[in-house]
């Protein structure tokens, strides 16, 4: 469990916030080559954090990037219903921490303003970085 706290995505958060996110998330394991997200499909309202190993990002069938442990993808899906703009495929046996819209709402409704502020700032920062 300690390795989760050292993921790059969590370096800006205190342990209480990380514990709240993890409590409201689930972990899924994908096999090498397994499709996680398919380009042009509707949003499934999930935000993915890579806990271990890596995924490939494909657009129009061509790999354009690799994402590694600690990186996130599809956090925009928590806020919008946009179609997927890329396919995400497990490159190795990959473990993902998955947070859905209902869980995010539960975290926000917890009343912890520090958590809400930090999560919203992180989402905003990531949206700006992906423009």
Query: Which residues constitute the domain of residue 36?
Result: 2-129
Q: How far is CA 55 from the centre of its chain?
A: 12
Q: pTM of the prediction?
A: 0.73
The helix, strand and coil proportions of the chain, stated in percent and rounded to the nearest 5, come to 35, 30, 35
pLDDT in tens, 66-106: 999 888 887 666 666 777 888 999 999 999 999 877 777 77
Q: How many domains does the chain have?
A: 1
Task: Say which CATH number the domain at 31 has.
Answer: 2.60.120.10
Distance (Å, whole) CA 90 – CA 2: 23
Q: What percent of the chain has pLDDT over 90?
A: 29
- Specify the DSSP class assigned to residue 75: G
């Amino acid at each position: 469990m300690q390795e989760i706290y050292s993921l790059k995505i969590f370096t800006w958060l205190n342990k209480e916030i990380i514990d709240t996110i993890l409590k409201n998330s689930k972990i899924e394991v994908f096999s090498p080559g397994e499709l996680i997200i398919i380009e042009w499909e509707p949003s499934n309202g999930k935000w993915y954090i890579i806990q271990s190993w890596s995924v490939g990002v494909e657009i129009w069938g061509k790999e354009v990037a690799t994402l590694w442990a600690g990186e996130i993808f599809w956090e925009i899906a928590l806020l919008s219903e946009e179609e997927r703009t890329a396919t995400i495929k497990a490159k190795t046996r990959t473990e993902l921490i998955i947070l859905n819209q209902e869980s995010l709402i539960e975290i926000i409704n917890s009343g912890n303003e520090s958590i809400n502020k930090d999560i919203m700032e992180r989402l905003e920062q990531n949206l700006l970085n992906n423009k």
